[in-house]
A and B are shown apart, each in its own frame.
Chain A
Amino acid sequence: MPPIRTSRGSKKPPPEGFEDIEDTLLEFANKMKDAENASHDGKKKYEMVWPVFQITHQRSRYIYELYYEKEAIGKPLYDWLLKNGYADAMLIAKWKKQGYEKLCCLRCIQTKETNFRSTCICRVPKEQLKENQDIQCVSCGCRGCASGD
């Protein structure tokens, strides 16, 4: 029986330039492991996944910036990273759209999951919130990711 090849466990070696960002990615992986294994004592159920969302966001952002803003990595490496799950392609796709430049996670714009077909509170611009209203969204712990902020 042939070995099962998943896109995740791609055997292809990373393209040129991977050595430069390898350390940072490894750090993100370690952080992620720590977040996954962190104790959940005294945390709310939804709070437990916040760090995971945050690290995913950071890592995706890192790769997004390397490719689109600093132009530090090439197309092959970028594709390889997306394919191997280092960044969230769907999230990056949203960042390219106007008004979603700082989007924290995909769940926060998933209107179908809310009662009133609305987006998350973190998508509301600061000036439309009340004075000194401190928010932190349920899905990823975002404190506000509207483009105008």
Chain B
Amino acid sequence: MADPPARPPVALPPLAPGWTEHKAPSGHAYYYNKETKSSTYVRPVANPQPSFFAASAPPAHGTHPTLGADANLDLFNPVAAIYSAQRNQQQQRSQYRDPRQRQWTHVAPPQQQPFRGGMGGGRGGFSGSRRQPEDRPKHRHDIPNCAPWVLVKTKLGRRFVWNRDTNESFWKFPADVMKGVVEFDRVERERRERRERSEASDEGEDDTMADIEADLAATEENIEQAIVEVDGEEGMGDESEYEEVEVTDDEGEDAGQPSKRQRTEEPTEDQPMEMGEDDMAWQLAQLEDMEADFGEEDEEEGLPLTEEDCKALFKELLDDLGINPYTPWEKTLDSGTLYEDERYKALPNMKARKECFNEWARDKIQFLKEQKAKMPRPDPKVEYLSLLSRLATPNLYWPEFRRKFKKEPEMKDAKLSDKEKEKLYRDHIKRLGMKPSELKSDLSALLKAQPLAALNRDSTLDTLPPSVSGDLRFISLPGATRDALVETYISTLPPAPEGAAKSAEEEAEVAKRRAERERREWALAERERRVREEKRKQEREMAYGKGRLRDNEEELHRALRVGKDGLRAQLDE
């Protein structure tokens, strides 16, 4: 689906000698005479010119008028000339459209709009109200992963990128932006495809298959095009340097909405920056206006968020923040961490949030309970015994010991009753007086009594079963000798019997849940984005309205101030 190279314009009358044809940034053809240094929109026809290609020789560098100069042309061009130029150009444009696009004949050629004011208003004199049908920005899209760069589609379907921060714009996409644009196109197409499919779900299966195939092909071609795009460009009077302007061509469009975009075989200037800064401002104002008018078309997409999704999002937020399910709702709110997350707004009101929180807390607590039931209950004896092994000495009686260490958490622990604590203490003190050999044999007896499932080669000193570490015989020996003994014993043990690994089903379950979650989050982000866009659009609309009012006023002033300069200029010529 590579785009065919531009057709040479069909049989326009040849130019008079000395005249060269150029394209204004707005897409108009104009003619420049190097000798007389004059330019005009009216085609200077030479009566007996042989070759018409001679007229379209590449223009000399450095003589391109900016839009400002373009505006000056208006001064001496009679109004009729403008119209003729316009007609001329529309003709041309329809010729330049490639055949594939020509079949959409219902695509209206850009029409002359009634004067729309703008911020810039840089048009001189009385011609202000007679604007040419110029190219102007129409849609603006954010490019994914290229934050400040914005892709702008013009009315004529050309595209350029604009850096929001530095206010630069290029017809030719910089390399990094190019990637983003390709990505953007892909996403666009997928979305359109999805929408189409939902619209025409009653159509045959093979239709959609064909669509997909076509899209796949389109993608490939787009990438190719993005890399190399050189069009043969005879007869157009420009270097094909800017053909990368059309990075992609959305084929998917033909089924859904008719494309307003056309191939831009119209030449552009060979400076990367085609428009002046003030013009940029004006164009962007226009863009805002246009977006207000046309933006609604592609607003309806985005995944729908069902109520369950919203709830799930909110619950995930609670999960992520690690909120204790035992805290009351009011306290959770007061802590203020909830508000900062986008997902907080997934639910419409406080009542719903509270309900959701209660539901979540209930489930979470049940879950925690189950987990706790599954976990082996920690033996309070283990910690108490480790305290004893650290602190107990034969010099202290139990009441003294208890008084001295009553602040220790192990001593305060209510699960082990005082009677038991006392008994353990007394026994431990008694055993401290025994002979080491006896203690050693006791310890080895204890270790041997353990089943292989509890104590095996994989266990370490930190992961001894509570039946070992919660036994008095374990702590009677001093730490160093005990550890060495235990380690040597463990190294003689065979490895543990086969444990049950995590089943594949469980893993699949986990993966599914994760995918669900990603989908929901994406949908929420999408919704946020749409809301933001809406807001921005409204603001822009307002700003534009103001600018327009101001412009109108200015124009009135200008009209009042009109003198005889224009007439004189005509006479002087």
Residues of A within 8 A of B (CB): 13-14, 20-21, 23-24, 27, 58, 61-62, 65-66, 69-72
Contacts and interface: CB of A to CB of B under 8 A. Distances in A.
A21 B414 contact: no
Contacts, number: 35
Q: Which of B326, B327, B366, B369 has the most CB of A within 10 A?
A: B326
Contacts of A13: 414-415
Interface string B310-333: 000000000000001111101100
9 contacts: A13-B414, A24-B328, A27-B331, A58-B330, A66-B326, A69-B362, A70-B325, A71-B362, A72-B362
Contact of B326 (A14, A24, A58, A61): A24
B365 A72 contact: yes
A58 B328 contact: yes
Contacts of A21: 326
Interface of B: 324-328, 330-331, 358, 361-362, 365-366, 369, 414-415
Given A13-B414, A13-B415, A14-B414, A62 B328 contact: yes
A52 to B, nearest CB: 17
Closest 8 CB pairs of A and B: A13-B414, A72-B365, A70-B362, A20-B326, A62-B328, A21-B326, A70-B361, A24-B327
Nearest to A21: B326
A72 B326 contact: yes
Nearest to B417: A13
A70 B365 contact: yes
Given A66-B326, A70-B358, A71-B366, 5 more contacts: A20-B326, A70-B325, A70-B362, A70-B365, A72-B362
Nearest to A71: B362
Contacts of B362: 69-72
Contact of A72 (B325, B330, B414): B325
A58 B329 CA distance: 11
A24 B324 CA distance: 10
A119 B330 CA distance: 28
A97 to B, nearest CB: 21
Contacts of A23: 324, 326
A24 B331 contact: yes
Nearest to B368: A20
A13 B418 CA distance: 11
Nearest to A69: B358
A141 to B, nearest CB: 16
